[in-house]
Amino acid sequence: MGIFLEFKPKNDGMDIERIHRLQQKMEKRKASICSERAVLFTESFSATEGEDYVLRKAKAFAHVLKNMSIYIEDDSLIFGNQAARNFAAPIFPEYSFNWVIDELDEFEKRTGDIFYIDEKDKKELRKLQNYWSGQTHQDEVVRTTPERIVLSEKQGVLHRGGISMSGDGHIVPDHELILKKGFRGIINEAKEKLKTADNEEAEIFYNSVIITLEAALDFIKRYGRLAEEMAEKETDIKRKNELLEIGKMCRTLMEQPAQSFYEGCEICYLVHMLQMIESNGHSFCYGRFDQYMYELYKKDIENGVISKEKALEIITHMFLMNSSNNKIRPYGHTKFSQGYPLYSNLMVGGRKPDGEDGTNDLSYLCIEAMNLTSMAEPNFSMRYNEDTPDDLVRLAAKLIRTGCGMPSMFNDEVVVKGLTDIGIKKEDALDYCAIGCVETGVPGKYGHRATGMTYVNWGKLVELVLNNGKDPKSGIQLISVNGQDNTNIDYKNYDELWSAWEKLLKYYSDLAVECDSICDRSLAKYDASPFASCFIDNCMEVGKTLKNGGCKYDVISQSNIGPSVVGNSFAAVKKLIFEDKKLTFKELKAAMEADWKGDEAEKIHKLVKNVPKFGNDDDYVDYIVKDVFNSYLDLLPSYKTERTGKGPELSCYTMSTSNITSYVPNGLDVGATPDGRRAKSPLNEGCSPTQGTDKNGPTAVINSVSKLPNSRVAAGQLLNMRFSPGSLEGDDNLEKFVGFLKASVKKGIYHNQFNIVDSKVLLDAKENPENYTDLIVRVAGYCAQFVSLMPEAQDAIIARTENKW
């Protein structure tokens, strides 16, 4: 745990030792499974058979909150638990359940994201199997999925993952509204709306909002009673008074607007945690914390209610409590999403809706809080622009230098342009935040799933292009380039190759959109979330849940993996076969089929490795990668979402390169590729260069990335870089890094994030994990404990180029 980057405490308002104890508890905790929610949810559903599904969800949520175990962590100023134990993952049987039963005895045997479960919980879960058989979201998706999509998954092109078996998440509520109205104010609004509701859907929605918010208020009061009971037994006077304060707070918390900065922080955490009890989606995010919390902070500072030290302590406790929550995924999907991630993004900095820079005290204090906690949650991000104060950028650089992987940095100018170009109002676009990893959207106005719908393996598409649409591994051919049912194809020129890419890209993108719609139609029922929906414009106005069109902006995207591999591969074919004529297409394919092994294949491997690679500021390949991006972006205007014309002011597809750890398992499905990549090795991550292929330093990398259509990738463009710790040591190197960050703004880089860790440390951590529980790394658009990752993901991080000045 760090101490302070620049903050200089003026008094003893902060208990650093207590923060350290709480941080150590979160760092050393072990993941487990909790059966409580599943049991209680099933009890409620069994009693409401035949009723509307949205109402049943609301009543089940209320039943869970009334009966689940609650506790208040020793030392913590913030309360609220998602499950019966710290870092225990609840089970959500309404989304998918067969895999839970199938893996009950395997959770502890995983090579990454290990979960412990006792026999009592196993027994409780097995009792529920018959009730949920055939009754889940996943069952509905399976029933309605056509064979062509199933076959595309067997090819390794499409992967549905979370959207076919879990909730959607990816929500940033309107925190300002919540803080100013409280739950009671929204309940009263729902009751008024109910009086004039003119359709059954709206009546059901408003009643469900009332049920869930009343349950949340009662839930809060349960903590109040618990705190007072604990205070009676507490012998430490300081802790006794804190518990009494919590008890008093809970009597009126959310029955009225937030009364203090402390209440505001508690409310933000509770809303976050309650959303995760309602739905097992992820990426429930805090949005622009420093903006909506500043008014409460300023009032309390001016009135002497708190000091900066106390505010920092409260923020730090709130950050730490995020690490008490957890989510379990099937082992197959876990490979796409490793490190127990929740993606609970919290963002600071950036311009306000009026265009002025919004940097304030809380921007700095949040960076200090992240330094004090050094945990993977919340996923911490910062917006910046040419008007951002130098000292805030420098403070962010100091935090990055510690090696915690945060904050990730977002360029206001590029992000805002991307959002306005797809139709977002300028003042809303200026208020954007990160939603999950690097997905961007408007807090309080976006619906579910800014990104992460169907995953599309572009590396596999390259393999199919080279084999006439037939997958060499499975033998499945859904589309042919030349109309023949075989793998034989010999392109005469680069234009023919590119035409084949466009043909297959459109076919599988069409399939992916169809897959999205199948999952979305099912989620409209099974992921109906009245609690989360009522905090998003325009759900309360139109009387609809988010999945049925209640949001203002319905902007979604898929995950497309491997654009750099595609560009590098096509560059190799173009140069060596069609321009320099050093190879024939047949010779290249033979070398790839041998995975570059054998005398002739090794000679060809040397040739392809020497062809320019993306990330080295070489126009030859950089513009091919740009073409790859544009070939997909040009398809998007023709795609519609399930909510088009059903309520949102804007409903469309855009692009994101946020693909979490999927570049590792997707690579396992792909044979050797023309860029020299070996079979089953990872694809590239986001828009980053393929691991180890960027040789000309960090400036060359951002020069290459700057040539991409970054502002068109309006749901988030992920760039991940690794620097050696020595590159940022000392004041001079720090200033070089600050200059690099500023150059990224001028170059139009959408987003950048950094690992500052030595390869030797990573290798030692892989061999001796017990010594490195504090090692946090940037995995993709999120951070995780390095030792929690599967070996394949660890190797992919180690393989990233370690940049030096």
The backbone torsions φ and ψ at residue 137, rounded to the nearest 5 degrees and listed phi first, read -55, -45
Residues 227-234 have a mean pLDDT of 98
Confidence of residue 686 (pLDDT cuts 50, 70, 90): very high
pLDDT band at 662 (very low <50, low <70, confident <90, very high): confident
pLDDT one-digit tens code per residue, 477-492: 999 999 988 888 999 9
Question: What whole-number distance in Å separates Cα of residue 168 and Cα of residue 170?
Answer: 6
Indicate the average pLDDT of the chain: 95
How far is 277 from 565, CA to CA, in rounded Å?
A: 39
Q: How confident is the model at residue 107 (pLDDT cuts 50, 70, 90)?
A: very high
Amino acid (1-letter code) at residue 388? T
- pLDDT band for position 803 (50/70/90)? confident
How far out from the chain centre does Cα 393 lie? 24
Distance separating alpha carbons of residues 366 and 364, to the nearest angstrom: 5
Which pLDDT belongs to residue 450? 64
* pLDDT at residue 82 greater than cutoff 70: yes
pLDDT tens-digit series, residues 289-337: 999 999 999 999 999 999 999 999 999 999 999 999 999 999 887 877 7
Strand 776-778 with 783-785, pairing: antiparallel
Per-residue pLDDT of 719-746, as tens digits, reads: 999 999 999 999 999 999 999 999 999 9
Which one, of 86, 113, 107, lies nearest residue 29 by Cα?
86
d(CA 232, CA 298): 34
CB 112 within 8 A of CB 338: yes
Mean pLDDT, to the nearest integer, of 599-622? 98
For residue 31, the SS3 value is coil
Which pLDDT band, with edges at 50, 70 and 90, does 12 fall under?
low
Q: Order the strands of the 287-288 sheet from edge to edge.
A: 287-288, 346-349, 380-384, 408-411, 751-756, 720-723, 802-803
Both structure tokens of 143: 């029933």
Distance between CA 317 and CA 410 in Å, rounded?
A: 25
Q: Is residue 781 over pLDDT 80? A: no
Q: In 521-591, which ranges are E strands?
A: 553-556, 559-561
What does the alpha-carbon distance between residue 662 and residue 287 come to, in Å, rounded to a whole number?
Answer: 25
For residue 309, the model assigns a pLDDT of 96
Residue 427: other Cβ atoms inside 10 A? 13
Q: Which backbone phi and psi does 534 adopt, to 5 degrees?
A: -70, -10
109, pLDDT greater than 90: yes
The structure's pTM equals 0.96
Span 636-662, average pLDDT = 93
b vs e for 504-529, b when ≥16 Cβ sit within 10 Å of the residue's Cβ? bbbbbbebbbbbbbbbbebbbbbbbb
If we measure between CA atoms, which residue out of 728, 788, 25 comes closest to residue 399? 728
Confidence at 642, pLDDT banded by 50, 70, 90: very high
pLDDT at residue 1, rounded to an integer: 58
Half-sphere exposure of 194 (CA within 13 A, CB side): 15
Distance CA 341, CA 793 (A): 14
For position 522, what pLDDT does the model report?
Answer: 96
**What SS3 class is residue 493?**
coil
User: Could you say which DSSP state residue 770 is in?
Assistant: G
Task: Assess whether pLDDT exceeds 70 at residue 451.
Answer: no
> According to the model, what pLDDT value does residue 802 have?
82
Q: How confident is the model at residue 552 (pLDDT cuts 50, 70, 90)?
A: very high
CA distance 653 to 456: 15
Confidence (pLDDT) at 690: 95
Which pLDDT score, from 0 to 100, does residue 786 have?
Answer: 87
CB 659 within 8 A of CB 558: no
Going from N- to C-terminal start, the domains of the chain cover 32-144, 285-434+724-804, 455-722
> Is residue 95 scored above 70 in pLDDT?
yes
Going by C-alpha positions, the residue among 643, 659, 292, 638 that lies closest to residue 448 is: 643
Mean predicted confidence (pLDDT) in 113-121: 96
Is 2 a residue whose pLDDT tops 70? no
Cβ atoms 115, 89 nearer than 8 A: yes
**Nearest alpha carbon to residue 387 among 364, 416, 411, 365:** 411
pLDDT of residue 510: 97
Residue 638 burial by Cβ neighbours in a 10 Å radius (0-12, 13-18, 19+): exposed
- Residue 633's pLDDT is 98
Mean pLDDT: which of 3-17, 164-178, 773-787 is highest? 164-178
pLDDT at 452 over 80: no
Check residue 369 and give its pLDDT.
97
Whole-number percent of the chain with pLDDT over 90: 87
